[in-house]
Amino acid sequence: MSHVLLIEGLRANVGSKEILRGIDLEVNSGEVHVVMGPNGSGKSTLSHVIAGRPGYEVTGGKVTLDGLDLLTLPAWKRARAGLFLAMQYPIEVPGVSLVDALSAAFVSNGRPPALVPDLLAAEADRVGLDRRFLLRPLNVDLSGGERKRNETVQLGVIGPLFAVLDEIDSGLDVDALRAVARRIEGATAESGLGVLAITHYNRLLNELHADRIHVLIEGRIVASGGPELAEELETTGYAAYGVDEPVVVGAAVGAARLAGAAGAASGAGNGGRPGASAARTDLDPFADPFA
Amino acid sequence: MWRYSRISDLDLDSYTLAAPSATVVPPALQPILDAIGARSALVIGGQPVGPVADGLVIGLDDQPAPLGEVAGEPDALVALNAAFCELLTMRVEKGTVLRDPVVVVTWVDGDGTSLFPRTLVNAEAGADAGIIEILASPDVASLVVPVTEVDLADGAHLKYLTIQVLGPRVWQVGTQASRLGRDADFLSYNVALGGDYARVRSESVLAGAGGTSRLLAMFLGDDRQMHDFATVQSHRGKHTTSDLLFKGAVANDSHSVYRGLIRVEKGASGTNAYQTNRNLVLGQGAHADSVPTLEIEENDVRCSHASAVGPIDEEQRFYLESRGVPPEMADRLIVSGFLDDVLERVPVPQLLPWLRATLAERLAQAEAVRP
Ligand SMILES: Nc1ncnc2c1ncn2[C@@H]1O[C@H](COP(=O)(O)OP(=O)(O)O)[C@@H](O)[C@H]1O
Ligand SMILES: [Mg+2]
């Protein structure tokens, strides 16, 4: 059975600052969508708003899963509806182990919690996470890479319909990234997991086959296309979108800068990029951010 | 905002003096005794019941440290206890190592009565023992004023665990005092779950050189309950160490007060003194106060104190929720997790499953764990 995660005109604020300025995305079962964008473009905000993290105000638009309005639901009901979030910075929960947490999730979902330890062990082995981490307090004293594997283990055990992966690649070495990407692709093939993978590194795309690439700039999707869009971004960076930042970066870079030049607008069209369709015309990447 | 201790509301005249009545294990306490398993002796209502291990002397005709020598008379209730007390003395003979803990049960079951248990413990030189005191009651409106004095001779090791599971209408005004000789090692652990108003004043005096005192407590408040802790880590000998960790959670309209003093006297050079008090405030009407104080008259010391009062971290709750855990379940997990590091240090590891289960049960009862 095919499912659909639909994001329509999503707008959200942090405090009085508008971060998401109208996002449209459609992810179907088995598809892998990758959202790329420079630092500060709103990628994590997008993932948090979808999952229901406190601290954001949704000011417009909808997020539905098979027509179910997720935005009116508390976070745990979104999870129960089939949504999973792998966080960029997974949160430490002192004294609560992965086994405890997922057992509680199983109990509340009417699944037998006795299954959890074996499922966790199997998933840990698949992504090369040492099994002793399964009994440790969640994310406490884990390295960045261990946390990402840990998130992937949880994804595997929970078996959601859709997963939002916020920089699942950061902190992982090449081998770990490969193992994680294999696991995610396995889920898309085996159980039809739909993936919204968010990153600002191209390296994820070397391991994870993407069906669609979207470019997020200043809270808007400014371009969508096939895998070739990523290759192009690799050579030109976000300059074509008026942002002076290379795509492949080793370290955090400064705030994205809007070029604001009308002349650059032509670069954002689809003329120069075969396969890349222009973003919806009502999502003008060069609109005055303060308008 | 500082809320004063409810101790001033105590009306002594509303209780009549009683002697402990239980002489057999009350059925309600059987599960915990089963969890403890083997023991060196069982004392109920001040009397030993059944066999007593070699090297342990229980009784009145013995020669304990004089009443009040360790505890002093810090307040009127300790004085009252001295006047009305049912005395229990326990002496662990020189060099005796007790493999199993001594279990002391105080069952407060007279409605409208007051009870003044007094326990004197002497751990002689090189002795090594563990005592578990269970302070419990059915649902009665009573007052219990337990005073425990522990005297550790040179090189003695003693672990003293108090499990307070009094009913919700019992007032407890407790005092625990310890004095450590040279190289003595003391661990005091309070599990405070019951009572309406429940005070524990815990003072450890490191008298001889090289002694180590660890003071731990885990508490949970519910309804309109109040837990009131006052601690003193008193360093007199050189190269002594004290390490305190009190952690608890207050649900619904319950309160907790923690007042802790580290006192390092002149001449107590090489002192290490640590004090940590952390409180999780769960209910809208719940409140926790934490007041650490240092009094240091010596230069060559290492002291630290940390205290924290706060609600459940909403990020932690979100993380668990995002895995499909409903918020009330997430909160219970977070509270248990918060208490886990102190729980893990309980000196009788075979009690851990009972403790975890009891805690989970009580957390489930705390109807408004969610703020
Ligand atoms: N909690 C917050 N408080 C204030 N500003 C925030 C907060 N979260 C995000 N922002 C701002 O929102 C913008 C987008 O942040 P984020 O979604 O984390 O971007 P990305 O993940 O693409 O790097 C940034 O300008 C950031 O400073
Ligand atoms: Mg981010």
ipTM score of complex = 0.84
C-beta of residue A58 within 8 angstroms of C-beta of residue A49: yes
Distance CA B23, CA B48 (A): 9
Which is nearest to B184 in space by CA: B210, B161, B203, B202?
B210
**Average pLDDT of A121-125?**
97
Ligand 1: does its nearest atom lie under 6 Å from the Cβ of A39? yes
Question: Per the domain annotation, does B47 fall within a domain?
Answer: yes
Which residues of chain B neighbour A92 with C-beta distances below 8 Å?
A: 316
- Which of A61-65, A143-147, B73-77 is the most confident on average? A61-65
**Average pLDDT of B148-160?**
97
By three-state DSSP, how is residue B362 classified? helix
Give the range of the structural domain holding residue B151, as residue numbers without chain letter.
Answer: 7-312
| pLDDT band per the 50, 70, 90 thresholds, residue B369 | very low
Bridge-based pairing state of the strands B143-144 and B117-123: unpaired
pLDDT tens for each residue of B266-319: 999 999 999 999 999 998 899 999 999 999 999 999 999 999 999 999 999 999
Which residues of chain A neighbour B316 with C-beta distances below 8 Å?
A: 91-93
| A105 near B CB under 8 A | yes
Cβ <8 Å between A79 and B326: no
At A232 the pLDDT is 84
Contacts of A75 (CB under 8 A, 6+ apart): A51, A52, A53, B318, B321, B322
When mean pLDDT is compared across A203-212, A253-262, B17-26, B215-224, the lowest value belongs to A253-262
Cβ <8 Å between A101 and B323: yes
Bridge-based pairing state of the strands B16-17 and A93-97: unpaired
At A287 the pLDDT is 33
Angle between helices B314-321 and A98-108 (to 10 degrees): 60
Question: Per the domain annotation, does B203 fall within a domain?
Answer: yes
| pLDDT band per the 50, 70, 90 thresholds, residue A245 | low
Question: Per the domain annotation, does A20 fall within a domain?
Answer: no
Question: Per the domain annotation, does A64 fall within a domain?
Answer: no
Predicted confidence (pLDDT) at residue A171 exceeds the cutoff of 60: yes
Distance CA B224, CA B253 (A): 5
pLDDT tens for each residue of A214-226: 999 999 999 999 9
| A137 near B CB under 8 A | yes
pLDDT tens for each residue of B252-276: 999 999 999 999 999 999 999 999 9
Ligand 1: does its nearest atom lie under 6 Å from the Cβ of A199? no
For residue B82, which phi and psi values (nearest 5 degrees)?
A: -60, -35
| pLDDT band per the 50, 70, 90 thresholds, residue B68 | confident
CA distance A189 to chain B (A): 22
Predicted confidence (pLDDT) at residue A127 exceeds the cutoff of 60: yes
Question: Per the domain annotation, does B318 fall within a domain?
Answer: no
Which residues of chain A neighbour B314 with C-beta distances below 8 Å?
A: 54
Question: Per the domain annotation, does B330 fall within a domain?
Answer: no
Question: Per the domain annotation, does A284 fall within a domain?
Answer: no
C-alpha torsion sign, points B371, B280, B259, B152: positive
Give the range of the structural domain holding residue A38, as residue numbers without chain letter.
Answer: 28-53+82-269
Predicted confidence (pLDDT) at residue A270 exceeds the cutoff of 80: no
Which residues of chain A neighbour B356 with C-beta distances below 8 Å?
A: none
pLDDT tens for each residue of A64-78: 999 999 999 999 999
CATH number for the domain spanning A152: value is: 3.40.50.300
Classify residue A218 as left (phi > 0), alpha (psi -120 to 50) or beta: left
**Average pLDDT of B341-365?**
93
Question: Per the domain annotation, does A45 fall within a domain?
Answer: yes
Only one residue has tokens 């001889």, namely: B208
Question: Per the domain annotation, does B331 fall within a domain?
Answer: no
DSSP for chain A reads ---EEEEEEEEEEETTEEEEEEEEEEEETT-EEEEE--TTSSHHHHHHHHHT-TT-EEEEEEEEETTEEGGGS-HHHHHHHTEEEE-SSPPPEEEEEHHHHHHHHHHHTT--GGGHHHHHHHHHHHHT--GGGGGSEETTT--HHHHHHHHHHHHHHH--SEEEEESTTTT--HHHHHHHHHHHHHHHHHH--EEEEEES-THHHHHS--SEEEEEETTEEEEEESTHHHHHHHHHTTGGGTB---SS-SS------B---GGGGGGGSSTTSTTEEEPPTTS-TTS-TT-
C-beta of residue A153 within 8 angstroms of C-beta of residue A117: no
Cβ <8 Å between A93 and B314: no
Ligand 1 mean position to B186 CA, how many Å? 51
Q: What percent of chain A is modeled with pLDDT above 90?
A: 73
Predicted confidence (pLDDT) at residue B2 exceeds the cutoff of 50: no
Near ion ligand 2, which residues have CB within 5 Å?
A: A 43-44, 88
Minimum-distance CB partner of B337 among A52, A79, A93: A93
Choice between A207 and B235, residue whose per-residue pLDDT is larger? B235
| pLDDT band per the 50, 70, 90 thresholds, residue A239 | confident
Give the number of domains in chain B: 1
User: What is this structure's pTM?
Assistant: 0.87
Predicted confidence (pLDDT) at residue A178 exceeds the cutoff of 50: yes
| pLDDT band per the 50, 70, 90 thresholds, residue B61 | low
Predicted confidence (pLDDT) at residue B234 exceeds the cutoff of 60: yes
**Average pLDDT of A118-139?**
95
Question: Per the domain annotation, does B305 fall within a domain?
Answer: yes
Instruction: For chain A, state the CA radius of gyration.
Output: 19
Ligand 1: does its nearest atom lie under 6 Å from the Cβ of A43? yes
| pLDDT band per the 50, 70, 90 thresholds, residue B65 | low
Distance CA B335, CA A98 (A): 15
Give the number of domains in chain A: 1
| Residue nearest atom 6 of ligand 1, based on CA coordinates | A14
At A272 the pLDDT is 35
Which is nearest to A58 in space by CA: A215, A219, A217, A223?
A219
Ligand 1: does its nearest atom lie under 6 Å from the Cβ of A38? no
Relative to the CA of A39, which ligand 1 atom is closest?
23
Ligand 1: does its nearest atom lie under 6 Å from the Cβ of A28? no
Question: Per the domain annotation, does A147 fall within a domain?
Answer: yes
At B75 the pLDDT is 85
C-beta of residue B7 within 8 angstroms of C-beta of residue B173: yes
